[in-house]
Each structure stands twice: as C-alpha cells, then as structure tokens.
Amino acid sequence: MMADGETARVRACLGGFRWHGLECRPYKEEGDAAFRNISRQILFDEPAQDCELRYFEMGAGGYSSLERHQHTHAVIVLRGRGQCLLGTTVRKVATFDLVTIPAWTWHQFRATDAEPFGFLCMVNRVRDRPQLPSESDLAALKSFPEVAAFLSS
C-alpha cells in the first residue's frame, strides 16, 4: 500500500538527458554565488523519502558554485567528463564515477571538454544553506597550486 503523497509513475526519458514532465530549471534560485552555464532538473523529491535526486548539467566552460555546507552530496557522473574540487584536491571525473562530498568540504564541478558534463546529485530534502568562501578562505585554497589552477581555469 502506498503512503499518502506518493504517486506511482514512470517518467519517460525524452533523450538528451531530459525527462517527461520535468522542468529544466536554473541551477540556483538565488543569485549570490558565482556559477556558469549549468541547469538543474529535480528527478525525485518525495516527502516519504528524506532525499532529493537532482540532475545537473553544464555546457562547455560551465561550473557549479564553490561552496561548503553541513549536508553531504552523493554524486554519480552520467555524462561526459570534468573536474571537481574536493577540499584541497582537484580530481578528474568521468561517466559513472562516484563522488562523495562530506560535510564542510569545499567543492566545485567544472566542465573541461567541449561536450556537456552531467551528474546526478543526491541530497537531504531539508538542508542547510551553502556557505561561500570568504576572501581569506579563497586565499587559503589558492595556496595549493593545483587548486589555484583549477579556480582560474
């Protein structure tokens, strides 16, 4: 028996990493963080589950915001390749790689190819607001040459 609020359904994939009935939204509603050429689709957001599953996709030159927060992310790359900043390291990631982002870990994803770079990201439905780096946080991150090169790419 289904609990109240759950709807049994199949959403057809339309191709091109789009799904029937799902809006392709801006990456974030608020405009206080720097990001570029990135979209968001919310695939699952059921009150009976404590998580949301989103699909983010960035085009060439795209990147997500550089941030950290109490809540964690579980990321599965679905399309293309890119790089991610994880704390003070930069890692290359490609299709089907899994990325774990613990609490309070600086993170940012960047497309590195001319092709789209897309990933699933699972998060808690109720979560704290991301913290953006201060000038001193940025200076500390940039003291790592690999991170400085990533942030200026």
DSSP structure string for 110-151: EE-SSS-EEEEEEEESS-PPPBPP-HHHHHHHHTSHHHHHHH
Q: What stretches of the chain show up as alpha helix (H) in DSSP?
A: 135-142, 145-151
Is residue 68 within 8 Å of residue 129, measured between CB atoms?
A: no
Pick the catalytic residue from 13, 51, 84, 121: 121
| Site of tokens 């085009």 | 59
Instruction: Write the CA distances from 84 to 13, 45, 90, integer angstroms.
Output: 27, 25, 6
Determine the residue type at 107: H
Q: Return phi, psi of residue 123, to 5°.
A: -140, 165
Determine the residue type at 105: T
84 part of the active site: no
- Residues carrying an active site annotation: 121
